[in-house]
Amino acid sequence: MSVRAAVARHLQGPPVALPSVLDRCSEHWWGWSPRTRAALVLLALVALVTAGELRVALVRDQWGGPPRRALVATADVPVGQVPHVRAVHLPPALVPDDAPQHVADSTRLAFALPEGTVLTRAHLSPRGPAAGLAHDLRVVPVPVDPGWDVRAGGWVDVWALSPSAGSTRIAEHRPVLAVLSEDDPPSALVGLGTTEVAAAMRGFAEGEVLLTHAPP
């Protein structure tokens, strides 16, 4: 027997027996005039749409109104890099007042921007990587070996190496604000105290400055 014949056989015969409640409702429904049934269907659709609009309005009121446009990071972006963002619409309560709508190609981050975070103007501070630095620290670029895996957000000890004095630790447990990989060799931006900056400059002049990983 073909599929078509099997379907036709099941569609023939008396109507399917419905539960008594549904059977009575069916009789009442088909007992009304066509215009009455059409009016009831239209009222049901209007009620459904109205209920949906009320639900949307309640959600909007809960979150502060209609959605607002914001720029959200598509990946983790370290300090000093161009922010990779996409435009989305979020509830107003989730969008800071200082969230920019556009980002220039030359923009660099002053603070790290984790994936999914809304970009704000604080991330684009004109102070650059020093924006989040303690007031008693200064940013110093230190060349690093790419294989040493020094990364933004890490902590390092800073050593001065010279042929005459050997190795001297000039700073301990200092933050790495950014790594400028476009430099040759790459440079790590390290936060140093004012007296440590002078020692680092002497280290550069007399020999080499080396970074070693330190625990957070």
- Sign of the C-alpha dihedral computed for residues 110, 115, 121 and 122 taken in this order: negative
* Between residues 171 and 113, the one the model is more confident about: 171
- Sign of the C-alpha dihedral computed for residues 142, 143, 144 and 150 taken in this order: positive
- In this predicted structure, the answer to whether residue 165 has a pLDDT above a threshold of 70 is yes
pLDDT tens figures, 64-101: 678 889 999 998 877 777 888 999 988 887 888 888 98
Query: Comparing 16-25, 86-95, 136-145, 181-190, which segment has the lowest mean pLDDT?
Result: 16-25
| CA distances from residue 58 to 61, 65, 90, 94, 167 in whole angstroms, order as listed | 5, 9, 16, 17, 66
Tell me the mean pLDDT in the region 137-142.
Answer: 89
Q: For the chain, what is the mean pLDDT?
A: 82
pLDDT tens figures, 147-162: 888 988 889 999 999 8
* Between residues 40 and 131, the one the model is more confident about: 40
Q: How far apart are CA 70 and CA 44, in angstroms?
A: 37
Q: How far apart are CA 66 and CA 90, in angstroms?
A: 9
Helix (H, G, I), strand (E, B) or coil at 141: strand
Write down the pLDDT at residue 91.
83
| CA distances from residue 94 to 63, 66, 78 in whole angstroms, order as listed | 8, 12, 22
Q: How far apart are CA 141 and CA 69, in angstroms?
A: 37
The contacts of residue 181 (CB under 8 Å, 6+ apart) are 146
Tell me the mean pLDDT in the region 132-143.
Answer: 84
For the record, the structure tokens of 7 come out as: 């379907």
Three-class HEC string of 81-126:
CCCCEEEEEECHHHCCCCCCCCCCCCCCCCCCECCCCECCHHHHCC
* Between residues 70 and 6, the one the model is more confident about: 70
- In this predicted structure, the answer to whether residue 211 has a pLDDT above a threshold of 90 is yes
Tell me the mean pLDDT in the region 123-133.
Answer: 73
Q: What is the pTM of this model?
A: 0.50
pLDDT tens figures, 12-71: 766 666 677 776 777 777 777 888 878 888 888 888 888 887 787 676 666 667 888 999
